[in-house]
Amino acid sequence: MNKYVMRICLKNKRITLNRAMIKALGNPTHLNFLYDEDAERLFFVPAEKDELDAFEIPQGFWTRPRSACVICRIAFLQMLVIKANIEADSKYLYHGAYKKTEDFSAVVFNMTCGQRIR
């Protein structure tokens, strides 16, 4: 089973990331997400709080054992509907892979391989 999981709920306009994914990125306080339109890949990378569009990991995330990281970025989700050709008002599940280079680490999701769950 792949431990890097992302759920997208377009009806509620939420992206949910699991704890294993954020831990693999080094327990950052902030994340950036980057979309590669040509490869149809979504990258989550650690970020500093002063970086443009950095998303802050909720403060209680590590202290509450069942807590998930829920991101509400409406414009970003609208872009995914258009660019990744996913259906509005649906839920999707994606499995990612951890990638590390000399310059950065990321969890990468292939946006063509999502499973529609509703």
Burial (CB < 10 A; 0-12, 13-18, 19+), residue 117, is exposed
Instruction: Look at residue 1 in the predicted model and tell me its pLDDT.
Output: 52
- Please report, in tens digits, the pLDDT of each residue of the chain (118 residues total): 568 999 999 989 999 998 889 999 999 999 998 999 999 999 999 999 999 889 999 887 878 877 778 888 888 888 888 888 888 889 999 999 999 999 889 999 999 999 999 7
Instruction: Look at residue 96 in the predicted model and tell me its pLDDT.
Output: 95
- Can you give the residue ranges of every domain in the chain? 5-116
Instruction: Look at residue 84 in the predicted model and tell me its pLDDT.
Output: 83
How far apart are alpha carbons 18 and 24 in whole angstroms? 10
Phi and psi (nearest 5°) for 107? -105, 130
Instruction: Look at residue 104 in the predicted model and tell me its pLDDT.
Output: 87
Phi and psi (nearest 5°) for 19? -60, -40
Instruction: Look at residue 44 in the predicted model and tell me its pLDDT.
Output: 95
Helix, strand or coil for residue 76?
helix
Helix, strand or coil for residue 70?
strand
DSSP structure class, residue 111: T
